[in-house]
Amino acid sequence: MSGISRRDLIRTGAVGAALLSGNAFASPLDGPRQLPAHLDKGIFAAAVKELRAVVGNEWVFADPETTLPYTKSFTPDPRHEHVPSGAVAPASVEEVQAVLKIANTYKLPLWTVSTGKNMGYGCATPASSGQMILDLKRMNRIIHIDAELGTALVEPGVTYQDLHDYLTENNLPYWIDVPTVGPIVSPVGNTLERGVGYTPYGDHFFMQCGMEVVLADGTIVRTGMGGVKDSTTWQAFKWGYGPYIDGIFTQSNFGVVTKLGFWLMPKPPAFKPFMVRHNEMGDVAKIVDAMRPFRMNNLIPNVVLMMGAAYQIAMFHRREELWDKPESIPDDVVRDFAKKHGLGMWNTYFALYGTDEIIAAVEPIVRRAFEASGGEVLTEKEMGGNLWFEHHKNLMSGQMTLEEKGIMRWRGGGMTCFAPVAPAKGIETQQQTELAKEILGRYGFDYSVAYAIGGRELHHLIFIQYDKENPVEEKKADDCIREMITRFGNRGWAAYRTGVATMDLVARQYGDSHREINARLKQALDPNHILSPGKQGIA
């Protein structure tokens, strides 16, 4: 059975072990339950019993076998610090309120997930072992789509696939904006993480409008215009009245978001994807300086991806096809392999949207600039059928794909993302690239990156691919990302988002005032600290 090893079969669980052989396997769930430090088994069992009474027996998971799917993570966890104690899956806002009441009574920490597929940052695993996962996947209704205003209001369990299907089945002329792995992830989850996609609506939190939040004490809040009786503008106008509070519920643990509104892009009459190919790693500065004015003046309206070749190669190929040694792959080797597949060392994907006339007017302007930067400007004419061109064409038009998952195969199923922000200035981007390559090189990891270009900044998405099956490699990956965070931080470059293992580390870089204000808000909104303790370093 190709692609399926005996090691996999043994590893996959008690059921598997029983089926195949008598061998037990090592897992943190084999032993005593991973309970929060302050809860003993008896109290945990009592809490579980009450939770079952609310959601039904079958929707509370509190044993190794049924908790197994929640423990899956691609990110390093060498000290087993991110193992959940179980999971509870409510079906409604009322059930969420009842669950929170029990959690407050027992001081049971709950780690909330929407679809729990935050794959570069820890999946559904909690910031500290012993938290019970509050799995909102069962709340999966598309509540309302306004066909005139182009707005959507959804529950956390809705996926981009669900939304895509709904728009298609109902013939609604709108596009969605997807992160790279749309089909299995949630607009609610991704937007609350302030993730991005690659159409003009790529800044997901920017395009969010109104939310409903259940606070730790069960109070329901509708932000923005949603507080007004009989409002018809909850998804039309972001800001509402008075202090704008939507932001405090993103990348935080101040409340459980149960509904999220956002805007949908009207399907454009015409759409033309482009790829700009550069042959040298060192071209990164020129590309950024050429791109910046177009993102600022919006002639290029979408969130652009400047892809490093090694990352792209990993999507569809195995490392052994170009390099079989443990140390980092030399640039020359990457370049040669990339060239064979129509790729440069940097491949920058952008698109023009509008009418044919508008696109025809803009195209020569952008072409000139990128050709002057030393790049080849390519379109469907030259690159149609190329796997990567098709992939990015799909992303830039909000289509469904999971091709990006391929990068996880590179060294053995492990991947963790370090995502520092750079200003859209060539020289600093180049410096970040050089620093990243230096650090990765010392650990024998490859420089596998995508720069997502917003208005005046870039998210430098650095994917550390490692062998998760090998404890030595897992420790290396953990050490590597910590060193990256620390040394980038020393240069004033901090991450926009991070995984469960490094939340405190990154939080410290944002200074004492941030931590202080977050701590005060937390104390006010969740005095028992039951909601996702540790998220973004907030206890």
Is there a catalytic annotation at residue 443?
no
Q: Which is nearer to other proteins, 406 or 489 (CB)?
A: 406
Alpha-carbon span 483 to 440, nearest angstrom: 10
**Active-site pick, 33, 70, 106, 121:** 121
Residue choice 87, 207, 257, 369 for contact with other proteins (CB under 8 A): 87
C-beta separation of 117 from 181 below 8 A: yes
Q: How would DSSP label each residue in 415-444?
A: EEEE-BEEES-HHHHHHHHHHHHHHHHHHT
C-beta separation of 499 from 417 below 8 A: yes
C-beta separation of 122 from 190 below 8 A: no
H/E segment holding residue 18: helix 14-20
Is there a catalytic annotation at residue 496?
yes
- The stretch among 137-145, 285-293, 297-305, 367-375 that binds other proteins (CB under 8 A) is 137-145
Would you state the structure tokens that stand for residue 137, as one six-digit string?
């996947």
C-beta separation of 326 from 446 below 8 A: no
Q: Which is nearer to other proteins, 22 or 492 (CB)?
A: 22
- The stretch among 88-96, 190-198, 243-251, 525-533 that binds other proteins (CB under 8 A) is 88-96
C-beta separation of 261 from 152 below 8 A: yes
**Restricting to residues 431-490, which ones interact with other proteins according to CB under 8 A?**
468-469
- The stretch among 159-167, 334-342, 420-428, 496-504 that binds other proteins (CB under 8 A) is 159-167
Question: Rounded to 5 degrees, what angle do the CA atoms 384, 385, 390 make?
Answer: 80
- Smallest CA-to-CA distance from 152 within 92, 224, 236, 221 is with 236
Note whether 145 binds other proteins by CB under 8 A: yes
H/E segment holding residue 64: helix 64-71
Is there a catalytic annotation at residue 497?
yes
Residue choice 41, 144, 340, 520 for contact with other proteins (CB under 8 A): 144
Residue choice 30, 40, 63, 165 for contact with other proteins (CB under 8 A): 165
Number of residues that bind other proteins (CB under 8 A): 79
Residue choice 62, 264, 304, 315 for contact with other proteins (CB under 8 A): 315
Strand 86-88 versus strand 132-135 pairing type = parallel
Residue choice 47, 97, 106, 117 for contact with other proteins (CB under 8 A): 117
**Active-site pick, 201, 311, 451, 496:** 496
**Restricting to residues 42-81, which ones interact with other proteins according to CB under 8 A?**
58-59, 61, 66, 68-72, 74
Q: Which is nearer to other proteins, 88 or 494 (CB)?
A: 88
**Restricting to residues 377-396, which ones interact with other proteins according to CB under 8 A?**
387
Q: Tokens 């029983």 appear where? A: 18
- The stretch among 31-39, 134-142, 362-370, 527-535 that binds other proteins (CB under 8 A) is 134-142
Alpha-carbon span 249 to 229, nearest angstrom: 22
Residue choice 46, 166, 428, 529 for contact with other proteins (CB under 8 A): 166
C-beta separation of 503 from 484 below 8 A: no
Residue choice 35, 83, 120, 162 for contact with other proteins (CB under 8 A): 162
Note whether 140 binds other proteins by CB under 8 A: yes
Amino acid at position 455, single letter: G
- Least distance (Å) from other proteins to the CB of residue 85? 15
Handedness of CA 172, 175, 177, 178 (dihedral sign): positive
Alpha-carbon span 201 to 155, nearest angstrom: 20
Q: Which is nearer to other proteins, 113 or 196 (CB)?
A: 113
- Least distance (Å) from other proteins to the CB of residue 176? 14
**Restricting to residues 500-539, which ones interact with other proteins according to CB under 8 A?**
none
Question: Rounded to 5 degrees, what angle do the CA atoms 182, 187, 192 make?
Answer: 125
**Restricting to residues 185-224, which ones interact with other proteins according to CB under 8 A?**
222
**Restricting to residues 234-253, which ones interact with other proteins according to CB under 8 A?**
234
Alpha-carbon span 202 to 396, nearest angstrom: 9
Which residues are designated catalytic?
121, 496-497
